[in-house]
Amino acid sequence: MSAAITRGWCPSLFEPMAARDGLLVRVKPRVEGVKATQLRELADAAAAYGSGQIELTNRGNFQLRGLSDKTLAAFSGAVLSAGLASADPAVERRRNILVSPFAGPAAMTVARQLEAWLESDDGLHALPGKFGFAVDEAAADISVLQVQEQMMVALPGGYAAATPDPVAAVKALTHAFLGLADASMARMAALVAARGTGALFAAAGLSMVVLPPSDTPPPIGPMRGAFGLGLAFGIQDAVMLRGAAGLAERFGKGCLRTTRARSLVVVGTGDGVRGIRAAARALGYITEPGDIRLRIAACAGLPACPQAFSDTRAVGAGLAAHWAGPGVLHVSGCAKGCAAPGGAAVTLVARIQNYDVVQNGRAHDTPVAHGLSLDEAVEWMREKRLCR
Ligand code: SF4
């Protein structure tokens, strides 16, 4: 394995990760979104060659589990023939770009140019596999945002630079990362912490400003002529995914987008939402942005993950009816905290036989309570009025 793969390695279609339930791969949507026909092909391949479960990640990728050495080639072939991946493993490793379902024409032009650059520039081979870009989303190593008529490039930490040429600015920041990051740095946030945001913008010839705050509602239910389909824990099965493809054809323009909120967005639904809401609910999708299940996070846990000490999703599903706190309740199978890397209001961190509790932090932060049984953890939350 090369140094480029080792630094910030992430599973992709051609670089599966071994889990307890088989091989895990990720399929990355292109910036134009996923057509209903492609979604059906993905659902069919997941059912034929994997577990049939299709997860959505917080980077808007599809995550497939339960593949094996015997089925991986057939699955990859199906994904390639559906037009959902590049045949070049190096391109698949670095093709990490998430576009908001609501990106306007100017932002979409930028997204297409960035995607073409990521697919064609072999000079990006040293980019870590975790390094990602976003357009009209401020949650990536480098983001492009359209603020009214102005294009801005943003780095982690709430700073940005206005630019008339966002593609050139992204390239300059990427090359600043490649030139300045040491071998331990897989993400831009690590370089920002080491060098400071101002120095990075200056290295790219850009002038830093504070990023204006934005408050985007969760992309669930009707919004701006589209309809978001939410998922408990970001999981759906092949039947649901085929159903989502049908919703896109029946109520939209035959295309769906993925979001970092782990939802699917049917684009072009117009104002008539009653029909799609009822049909989406019948398939098992969440259609209300206030649904409590959207505020419960849980990683794969047992039995899928070899590091797990708990069946996190079963625990999370059981706690959904009781959670009364602000923000997110996170059930983590170990201290890695995959399901809520940015932290949560409360995190129950599974240990060999019990749970630690972290409040307003990440799974690896210092717990406020140690070694509680699940009942004791619930009682702890009740005392804090975080649980009913
Ligand atoms: S948090 Fe731990 S147990 Fe959960 S998926 Fe990540 S590594 Fe596995």
**Same-domain status, 117 and 56:** no
Mean pLDDT of the chain: 94
Residue 138 domain-assigned (yes or no): yes
- Does the beta carbon of 305 lie inside 6 Å of ligand 1? yes
pLDDT of the residue at 7: 57
Can you tell me whether residue 243 is helix, strand or coil? helix
Q: What is the CATH number of the domain that holds 274?
A: 3.90.480.20
Q: Which of 233, 313, 334 to mutate to test the pocket of ligand 1 (most atoms within 8 A of CB)?
A: 334
Phi, psi at 380, each rounded to 5°:
-60, -45
Ligand 1, atom nearest to 336 Cα: 1
Say if residues 230 and 294 touch (Cβ distance below 8 Å): yes
Domain count across the chain: 3
Ligand 1 binding pocket includes 354 (Cβ within 6 Å): no
Where a domain ends, among 267, 289, 311?
289
Q: Check whether residue 254 and residue 201 sit in a common domain.
A: no
Separation of CA 56 and ligand 1 centre (Å): 16
Mean pLDDT of 114-118: 98
Residue 312 alpha carbon to ligand 1 centre in Å: 9
What CATH number does the domain containing 318 carry?
A: 3.30.413.10
- Separation of alpha carbons 59 and 26, rounded Å: 10
Residue 364 lies in a domain: yes
Residue 6 pLDDT class (50, 70, 90 cuts): very low
Q: What is the pLDDT of residues 231-252, one digit of tens each?
A: 999 999 999 999 999 999 999 9
Q: What is the pLDDT of residue 273?
A: 80
Cα 169 to its chain centre, rounded Å, is: 24
Residues 113 and 203 in one domain: yes
Q: Whose CA is nearest to atom 6 of ligand 1?
A: 338
| CB distance 55 to 234 below 8 Å | yes
pLDDT at 8 over 90: no
- Residue 217 located in a structural domain: no
102 and 81 housed in the same domain: no
**Residues of the chain with pLDDT > 90: what percent?**
90
Q: Is the beta carbon of 301 within 6 A of some atom in ligand 1?
A: yes
For residue 218, being part of any structural domain is answered with no
Element (H, E) at 147: strand 142-147
List pLDDT tens digits, range 117-127.
999 999 999 99
Q: Which atom of ligand 1 is nearest to the CA of 339?
A: 1
The answer for 164, left when phi > 0, alpha when psi is -120 to 50, beta otherwise, is: alpha
Do 351 and 364 fall within a single domain?
A: yes
Residue nearest to atom 2 of ligand 1 (CA): 334
Identify the H or E element spanning 346: strand 344-350
What the block records as the tokens of 219 is 């992309």
pLDDT (average), residues 176-200: 94
Q: How far is the CA of 336 from the centre of ligand 1 (A)?
A: 6
Q: Which residues constitute the domain of residue 371?
A: 294-383
Closest CA to 21 of 339, 226, 300, 369: 300
177 with 229, same domain? Answer: no
**Looking at the domain assignment, is residue 338 inside a domain?**
yes
Domain presence at residue 216: no
3-state DSSP call for residue 122? helix
Q: Report percent pLDDT > 70 for the chain.
A: 98
Q: Is 349 inside any structural domain?
A: yes
Residues 6+ apart with CB under 8 A from 352: 309
Beta strands in 2-138 (DSSP E): 17-19, 22-27, 34-35, 53-56, 62-67, 97-99, 133-135
Position in ligand 1 atom list of the atom nearest CA 350: 3
Which of 210, 238, 260 is the last residue before a domain boundary?
210
**Are 114 and 42 in the same domain?**
no
Q: Name the domain boundary from 175, 210, 245.
A: 210
Same domain flag for 281 and 193 = no
Q: Of 336 and 7, which is predicted with more confidence?
A: 336
Best substitution site from 338, 349, 358, 364 to test ligand 1's pocket, by max atoms within 8 Å of Cβ? 338
* 77: pLDDT strictly greater than 60: yes
Q: Does 219 fall in a domain?
A: no
Q: What pLDDT does 217 receive? A: 79
Distance CA 51, CA 68 (A): 10
Pocket flag, ligand 1, residue 286 (CB < 6 Å) = no
Q: Are residues 278 and 298 in the same domain?
A: no
Do 228 and 84 share a domain, yes or no?
yes
Q: Tens digits of per-residue pLDDT, 258-280? A: 999 999 999 999 877 889 999 99
CB 176 within 8 A of CB 199: no
Is the CB of 333 within 6 Å of ligand 1? yes
**pLDDT, average across residues 300-308:** 94
> What confidence tens digit (pLDDT) does each residue in 204-229 have?
999 999 987 777 778 999 998 999 99
Average pLDDT rounded to a whole number, residues 336-351: 95
- 181 lies in the same domain as 248: no
CA distances from 340 to 295, 311, 365 (A): 11, 16, 12
Q: Distance, CA 331 to ligand 1 centroid (Å)?
A: 10
| 322 in the same domain as 251 | no
